[in-house]
Amino acid sequence: NAGVTQTPKFQVLKTGQSMTLQCAQDMNHEYMSWYRQDPGMGLRLIHYSVGAGITDQGEVPNGYNVSRSTTEDFPLRLLSAAPSQTSVYFCASSYSDFGGAYNSPLHFGNGTRLTVT
Amino acid sequence: QQPVQSPQAVILREGEDAVINCSSSKALYSVHWYRQKHGEAPVFLMILLKGGEQKGHDKISASFNEKKQQSSLYLTASQLSYSGTYFCGTGDNYGQNFVFGPGTRLSVLP
């Protein structure tokens, strides 16, 4: 039982490059979300999804795209990387009675550390 | 809108107690608490639901005041392993759009 798997663990990009951060879960969770965490700061919500085909914006969506074609996968795309996107990115998922993480814990992946130069 | 947490940081000696507070300007339907150690992912501690139901850790307690839109996490007889950053989190009435507070850094010294 792998839980939430994020790849890659580390990535260095040049400004303007694009890339996709992968997130997969094997717990059949409907609710999935992406967070970024900057040094000394909390977790800020980028995008979330309540099921396949349904996504919505969080607190800091600019510069990021997501899609949810299957229950298992929720990739995060950076179309044109900027130094301000240097951060640690966490993917999380939750079992959902009501569409979100109301009464079930969020399970986090181990994170992707991204540096944009 | 992010919940607000206080204090920002706490330093304790082993065996001492601590309280971490979380409040929100909007209605709280449920409150989650997580702990994150340096370089690791956040780990679930507890969920508090409206009506008093709690789920989670049996050695850490918490309260949830729905009317005041506040929650508190109580760490008693702290151990070295309690060190880390504690986050409260909350979503809308279905738990979607789930956001976290800025965190409280707890350091437990021997």
Which pLDDT does position B58 carry in this prediction? 63
User: What is the 3-state secondary structure of chain A?
Assistant: CCCEEEECCEEEECCCCCEEEEEEECCCCCEEEEEEECCCCCEEEEEEEEECCEEEECCCCCCEEECCCCCCECCEEECCCCHHHCEEEEEEEECCCCCCCCCCCCEECCCEEEEEC
Which pLDDT does position B52 carry in this prediction? 74
Which pLDDT does position A10 carry in this prediction? 97
CB-based contact, B26 to chain A, within 8 Å: no
Using a CB-CB distance cutoff of 8 angstroms, which residues of chain B are in contact with residue A98?
A: 93-95
Of A44, A50, A103, the CB nearest to B96: A50
Alpha helices (H) in chain B, listed in sequence order: none
* pLDDT in 10s for each residue of chain A, 117 residues: 689 999 999 999 999 999 999 999 999 999 999 999 998 789 999 999 999 999 999 999 999 999 999 999 999 999 999 999 999 999 999 998 777 888 899 999 999 999 999
Average pLDDT over chain A reads 95
CB pair distance less than 8 Å for B44 and A105: yes
Give the mean model confidence (pLDDT) for residues B7-18.
96
- The string of pLDDT tens digits covering residues A39-72 is 878 999 999 999 999 999 999 999 999 999 999 9
Q: What is the nearest CA distance from B95 to chain A, expressed in angstroms?
A: 4
- The string of pLDDT tens digits covering residues B58-78 is 678 999 998 899 999 999 999
CB pair distance less than 8 Å for A105 and B56: yes
CB-based contact, B97 to chain A, within 8 Å: yes
Which pLDDT does position A100 carry in this prediction? 83
Which pLDDT does position A26 carry in this prediction? 96
Backbone angles phi, psi at A28, to 5 degrees: 60, 35
